[in-house]
Amino acid sequence: MITFENVTVRFGDFTALPDLSLHVEEGEFFTLLGPSGCGKSTALRTLAGFNDPASGRLLVDGRDVTALPSDRRGIGMVFQNYALFPSMSVRENIAFGLKVAKRPKDEVHERVHEIAEQVALTPAQLDKGVAELSGGQQQRVAIARALVLRPRILLLDEPLSNLDAKLRNQLRVQLKELQQQFGITSIYVTHDQDEAMSMSDRIAVLDHGRIEQVGTPREVYERSATEFVCTFIGSVHRLGEQAVSRLSQLPGSPVAEGLRSYVRVERLTLRERHRPNDGRLVVDGVVDRADYHGYFTQYAVRLGDRSVSVRVPWSATESAFAAGDEVAIGVAPEDVLQYERSGPEAGA
Ligand SMILES: Nc1ncnc2c1ncn2[C@@H]1O[C@H](COP(=O)(O)OP(=O)(O)OP(=O)(O)O)[C@@H](O)[C@H]1O
Ligand SMILES: [Mg+2]
């Protein structure tokens, strides 16, 4: 449906996207995830027609749209700062694109009401000024304004980042429902890995304008292709040489020595000492601190002169620990993620 083919984008001497190739399937919810400045917005803006690539092509349905003006690409875009017209009412904001397209008055009225209802804006809110609405309501206006034009493609650039956690969660669900209901192919930009994981069909992880990995949330998380992806997503513990060596000697262990090795903090186990180790490497430590988070507890465990952070999900059967408790940390060899070293050589 959407293809970036060797797209290069420069700003003066600076190359924001050196050579981006990417394919998004019809109906997919696809996310670009990466740290600030990695080129996420640049990629979206280039697809929408706000940046001109220095080389490469953009295809939509196999058609080259690289030279098409922005408004002829059939793409809707929602910006991080909403970009609403502050002096217009909610209704006027949503109707704007339809008026520009010179749709008949009745149709405009009908479509505005229909889309407002779908994003849970009330008729009374339609006649308010944009400034009278909360952040979450304004965000829904921005989404309605894009959806009312019935684009086949919707680009969303960190649309929820200005909202508080609760509202963000609510709108995540609504947004995903709208996307599925309309079957719109969507590219979503975020630097929030939790948001990316929970909403996306597939994720592309970017660093310095290059793709480190494309995969389902599960693939990206459980089989991180590069050290960058492994450390950017979730929380990891880097294993010391001695631990790696001992892990490599366990029966049937896939662990190799001499590689950089990590384990996700929620894969570490924390048990009373002298319990059976289930084929894990077990290291004795002492709990320094226990931070209760409700559905999990984060422990700082002292191992000699190191402190290791272990995240233990709430459990009805496993005991909780307190500072001073003597414990054993366990690592299963199959949970170890290993990399040569972080480098810019990773390709698409
Ligand atoms: N119009 C521009 N002129 C010059 N440099 C730009 C321009 N737009 C972006 N850049 C640079 O290109 C790089 C990528 O920027 P981009 O906005 O795409 O990053 P991003 O991944 O969206 O970051 P953030 O998460 O902070 O929004 C940055 O180094 C940025 O400074
Ligand atoms: Mg951005």
Owner of token pair 């513990």 = 237
Q: Tell how far the Cα of 317 is from the centroid of ligand 2, in angstroms.
A: 44
CA distance 262 to 335: 8
> Could you list which residues have their CB under 5 Å from ion ligand 2?
41
- The total number of residues shown for the chain amounts to 348
Does 232 have pLDDT greater than 60?
yes
Q: What is the mean pLDDT of residues 81-101?
A: 90
Instruction: Give the ligand at the shortest distance from the Cα of 45.
Output: 1
Q: Tell how far the Cα of 229 is from the centroid of ligand 2, in angstroms.
A: 19
Burial of residue 292 (CB within 10 Å: 0-12, 13-18, 19+) is exposed
Instruction: Give the ligand at the shortest distance from the Cα of 9.
Output: 1
Q: Tell how far the Cα of 41 is from the centroid of ligand 2, in angstroms.
A: 4
Pocket test for ligand 1, best of 11, 20, 193, 232 (most atoms within 8 A of CB): 11
- Outline where DSSP puts E strands in 151-192: 153-157, 185-190
Q: Tell how far the Cα of 17 is from the centroid of ligand 2, in angstroms.
A: 13
181 in contact with ligand 1, CB cutoff 6 A: no
CA distance 280 to 196: 31
CA distance 194 to 220: 12
Q: For the segment 29-88, what is each residue's pLDDT rounded down to a tens digit?
A: 999 999 999 999 999 999 999 999 999 999 999 999 999 999 889 899 988 777 899 999
Does 343 have pLDDT greater than 60?
no
Residues contacting 304, CB < 8 A, separation 6+: none
Q: Which atom of ligand 1 is nearest to the CA of 209?
A: 14
What H or E segment, with its residue span, contains residue 327? Answer: strand 326-331
Residues contacting 260, CB < 8 A, separation 6+: 227, 238, 338, 339, 340, 341, 342
What H or E segment, with its residue span, contains residue 271? Answer: strand 269-272
Which amino acid is located at 233 in the chain? I
- Which is higher by pLDDT, 278 or 214? 214
Q: Tell how far the Cα of 296 is from the centroid of ligand 1, in angstroms.
A: 36
Domains (range + CATH), the chain: 2-231 (3.40.50.300), 237-339 (2.40.50.140)
Does 263 have pLDDT greater than 50?
yes
As a 3-state breakdown, the chain gives helix, strand, coil percent values, each rounded to 5, of 30, 30, 40
Q: Which atom of ligand 1 is nearest to the CA of 11?
A: 4
Instruction: Give the Cβ contact number of residue 257 at 10 Å.
Output: 12
If phi > 0 it is left, if psi is from -120 to 50 it is alpha, else beta; for residue 83 that is left
Q: What is the pLDDT of residue 82?
A: 72
- Which is higher by pLDDT, 165 or 36? 36
User: What 3 state SS string does 334-348 have?
Assistant: HHCEEECCCCCCCCC
Instruction: Give the ligand at the shortest distance from the Cα of 10.
Output: 1
37 in contact with ligand 1, CB cutoff 6 A: yes
Instruction: Give the Cβ contact number of residue 97 at 10 Å.
Output: 17
Q: For the segment 297-317, what is each residue's pLDDT rounded down to a tens digit?
A: 999 999 988 999 999 988 877
Q: Which atom of ligand 1 is nearest to the CA of 158?
A: 27
Q: For the segment 266-287, what is each residue's pLDDT rounded down to a tens digit?
A: 999 999 998 888 899 999 999 9
Phi, psi for residue 47 in degrees, rounded to 5: -65, -40
Q: What is the pLDDT of residue 341?
A: 67
Distances (CA, A) of 335 to 189, 207, 255: 29, 25, 9
Q: Which residues pair with 15 in a beta bridge?
A: 10
